[in-house]
Amino acid sequence: MIEVKNVHFTYPSGVEALQGVSLKIRNGEFVAIMGQNGAGKTTLVKHFNGLLKPSKGNVLVDGMDTRDVSVATLARKVGFVFQNPDHQLFSETVEEEIAFALRNFGFKENVIKRRVTWALNLLGLTQYRKTSPFMLSGGERKRVALASVLAWNPKILILDEPTIGQDYGQKEKLRQFILQMKAQKKTVVIVTHDVEFVAECNPRVVLMSNGKIVADGEARKILTSPEILEKAAIIPPEISRVFLELSEFGFPTNVIDVYEAGEIILDFWEAKNREHV
């Protein structure tokens, strides 16, 4: 469980990036943090594994104050995948890259081997096992970075912009994977601008703007409230926009799922047909 209690954070340059944020994320929850550029999303999630310590207020991870433990200790529990994979790749082979964190945490060699194979397989990287990570494409590098964190199976997973540069197939795999994590009672926090991806996953959405949380609730509610979204420079998913336009014909306005939308339209159509017969 992550508890953020009235946290303020000011960068050395004087920018107050967080201005009194309070948030509670329970075990097994799937949370998407959204908001415009510079809203403070990355700053907030960097508090979850202790990379940043609050200037004021507290952050508790499973009851531990992040001020009292080292990042390395917290990292075992809280996996963090950075926005840009080029900030972490350094090994000669993809395999070594994934094993790096496992070595840091002191896993045994045979366990490391098993985990590396598992992670490679999970992200479809097996054929690149012996390739240099620098030779891979942008999307593939991103997946190596993800694999290198998933390998130690952290209890809480934080992904900063996981869908950037990923094709639809990879996004779908990511979604499946997140659902799997959820089923295992793991906590997943993603930071993203990808409204369509969030609409498909239907997580809890935390909306940020100018260092504050402006809305918090289920995706279905938040992503279909244009007034709320406007504050965070986001527009509703395409399907919701269609339904918002159609509201005067009696369509519900809180639809974010394409399949559900299809059902509603079919029902509506059948009802209309019956009227005419």
Ligand X SMILES: Nc1ncnc2c1ncn2[C@@H]1O[C@H](COP(=O)(O)OP(=O)(O)OP(=O)(O)O)[C@@H](O)[C@H]1O
- Binding site residues, Mg ion, CB under 5 A: 42
Contact between 149 and other proteins per CB under 8 A: yes
Stretch that binds other proteins, among 72-80, 162-170, 182-190, 203-211 (CB under 8 A): 72-80
C-alpha span between 59 and 45 (Å, rounded): 11
Contact between 80 and other proteins per CB under 8 A: yes
Identify the residue among 23, 61, 101, 234 touching other proteins (CB under 8 A): 101
Contact between 121 and other proteins per CB under 8 A: no
C-alpha span between 94 and 15 (Å, rounded): 37
C-alpha span between 123 and 165 (Å, rounded): 15
| DSSP category for residue 253 | S
- Residues whose CB is less than 8 angstroms from the CB of residue 192 and which lie 6 or more positions away in sequence, other chains included: 32, 33, 34, 161, 162, 163, 198
**b (16+ CB within 10 A) / e for 129-142:** eebebeebeeebbb
Question: What's the closest the beta carbon of residue 164 comes to ligand X, in angstroms?
Answer: 10
43 contact choice in Mg ion, other proteins, ligand X, none (CB below 5 to 8 Å, kind-dependent) = ligand X
Contact between 90 and other proteins per CB under 8 A: yes
Residue whose CB is less far from other proteins, 14 or 169: 14
Contact between 82 and other proteins per CB under 8 A: yes
Contact between 139 and other proteins per CB under 8 A: no
C-alpha span between 113 and 223 (Å, rounded): 42
The tokens describing 144, both together, are: 């190596």
The tokens describing 24, both together, are: 């509670």
Contact between 16 and other proteins per CB under 8 A: no
Stretch that binds other proteins, among 148-156, 166-174, 198-206, 257-265 (CB under 8 A): 148-156
Residue whose CB is less far from Mg ion, 94 or 206: 206
The tokens describing 30, both together, are: 């799937």
Q: Which residues bind other proteins (CB under 8 A)?
A: 12, 46, 49, 51, 70-72, 75-76, 79-80, 82, 84, 86-90, 100-101, 104-105, 134, 148-149, 152
